Amino acid sequence: MWRSITINLADLLFSVSEAMDLSDPSLVDHQIRTAYVSSELAQAAALNHHDAERLFTAALLHDIGALSPEEKLGIHMHEDLRPEPHCQRGGTLFREAFWLAPAADIIDWHHTPYAVHREHGRSLSDASVTEAQMLLLGDVLERSVDRNRFILHQLDGLRARIRKLSGTLLHPDLVLLFEQVAKREEFWLELVSRDLSRHLRERSLLRFINIDYPAARAVAGVLKDITDFRSRFTAAHSTGVASCARQIAEVLHFSGKDLQQIELAGFLHDIGKLVVPNSILCKPGMLSPQEYAVVRQHPFYTHRILARVRGFEQIAEWASCHHERLDGSGYPAQLDRHSLDLGAKVVAVADVAAAIAERRPYRDPGGQQAVLTALQDMSVKGLLEPTIVEALADRYNQIMDNVHAAQADDEQRYQARYAQFS
C-alpha cells in the first residue's frame, strides 16, 4: 500500500499560483509579484521563519477565493468594490487543508484596512494582522504597476500612492518599513523581472512535506474546489469523476498506490479550467467554435500545473488525458490507444459518465439509459475503451449510487460553506 508520498510544497503552491493568473495578460504573475513584495517586507521586519513562511504561502494563493477569471480581473482593475466575499471564500478554502489553515486569517483580512483593524482593537502585535497588512500592501503595489512603462520611471508615483494610504488602508509603521525596502532599485527591477518565479523558488522559504494519502486527498480537495465551486452545476463534478474512476479501477483490479492515484487524478482532472472564463464555462447554451477552442486548452493546463509537482507525475498524466480518444481525435495531444495507458482510459470514461449524469444549465441530468447509450456509442466508434465501458455497465447501479452519494456530500458542503458567497 502507498502509505506516504513526498510532495514539494513549493512546487504545488507556485504551480497553482501561476495557473490562477494565466487567464488575462494583466493578471500574469500578480500573485507571484505580490508574494515577492510580501517576502521583502517580511525580511525587512525580521519576521521569524514560521511567520514568514505563513505569509509567503498566503501571498502565493491570496486570490484563491476569487473563483472566476472575471472576478480576479474585476478585483485587479479596482472594479470590485466589495472584495470581502473572495477573502471569506479564500479563508474558508485555506481551512480545508492542514498546510494552508495556519494562513487562513491572513486571507480573511488581506483586504481589511488598517483603520478597521484599529476600530476592532487589533494591532500589529497580532502576527496575522501584520502579515495581512504586508500582503495588502504588496497587492495594492502590484496592481498599481503599469506593465507598459519601465518600472524605474514609475517609482515616484508608486511610492507616493503607498504613502497616501498611510493611516487609512495601511499601518503607518508598515509604510515606513516599505520606504526602507523601496529605496533599492534592485527591489523594483526584481519585481518585474521575467525570472521572478525562478528566483523565488530558489530562495523559497517553503518546505518539502511528507504527507499520507488522506492528507494528499485533502490537498486535491482544495484544488478541485477552486475550479468546481465556480458554479453550482459543477460543484460536485470532480468528486463524481474521482469516485467513478476509483470504482471502475477496482473492478479492473487496480490496487494500492494505483487506486489512490487514479482517485486523485479524478479530483484534479479539471484544474486546468482555472484559465477558462466563467462566461464560457457556465454558458447556458451551445458554445461557439471560438469559445470551444478556449475550453479545449484546459487539459493542457491540467498537465502543466500537475506535472511540475514532484510526486504527482502519474497523476498528471492520467488527469490530463481525460479528453483524449482512442482514435487520436481527442485533445490536447491527439494521443491514440497505443499512447494511452489503462489509467488514462479509465479517467476518460469516468469523466464522460459523470458529466452526462449531472445537471447542466442547458439540460437535465441524464439517467442510466442516457449515460450507457452515450458510452456504448463512443465505444463502438473507437473513442473509449470497450472493456472499461463494460466494467461500468456491469455494475452501473452500484457504482453510480456511490458516485451520487459522494456528490451529495460535496454539494451539501458547497451549499453550507460557499454558496452564501456566490
Q: Are 50 and 205 in contact (CB under 8 A)?
A: no
Q: What is the 3-state secondary structure (H, E, C) of the chain?
A: CCCEEEEEHHHHHHHHHHHHCCCCHHHCCHHHHHHHHHHHHHHHCCCCHHHHHHHHHHHHCCCCCCCCHHHHHHHHCCCCCCCHHHHHHHHHHHCCCCCCHHHHHHHHHCCCCHHHHHHCCCCCCCHHHHHHHHHHHHHHHHHHCCCCCCHHHCHHHHHHHHHHCECCCECHHHHHHHHHHHCCHHHHHHHCCCCHHHHHHHHCCCCEEEEEHHHHHHHHHHHHHHHHCCCCCCCCHHHHHHHHHHHHHHHCCCCHHHHHHHHHHHHHCCHHHHHCCHHHHCCCCCCCHHHHHHHCCHHHHHHHHHHCCCCCHHHHHHHHCCCCCCECCCCCCCCECCCCCHHHHHHHHHHHHHHHHCCECCECCCCHHHHHHHHHHHHHCCCCCHHHHHHHHHCHHHHHHHHHHHHHHHHHHHHHHCHHHC
Rounded Cα gap, residues 161 and 153, in angstroms: 14
Q: What average pLDDT does the chain have?
A: 89
Q: Do domains 4-203 and 211-421 have the same CATH topology?
A: yes
pLDDT at 70 (0 to 100) = 64
pLDDT at 81 (0 to 100) = 45
Q: Which residues contact 71 (CB under 8 A, 6 or more apart)?
A: 80, 86, 278
Provide φ and ψ at 284, rounded to 5°: -85, 55
Domain residue ranges in the chain: 4-203, 211-421
pLDDT at 79 (0 to 100) = 47
pLDDT at 280 (0 to 100) = 87
For the chain, first and last CA: distance in Å?
A: 40
Q: Are 366 and 357 in contact (CB under 8 A)?
A: yes
Rounded Cα gap, residues 340 and 299, in angstroms: 14
The CATH code of domain 4-203 reads: 1.10.3210.10
- Tens-place pLDDT, residues 280-339: 888 888 889 999 999 999 999 999 999 988 888 999 999 999 999 999 999 999 999 999
pLDDT at 321 (0 to 100) = 98
For residue 414, give the C-alpha cell.
458547497
Residue spans of the chain under pLDDT 50: 1, 79-81
**What kind of fold does domain 211-421 have according to CATH?**
Hypothetical protein af1432 (1.10.3210)
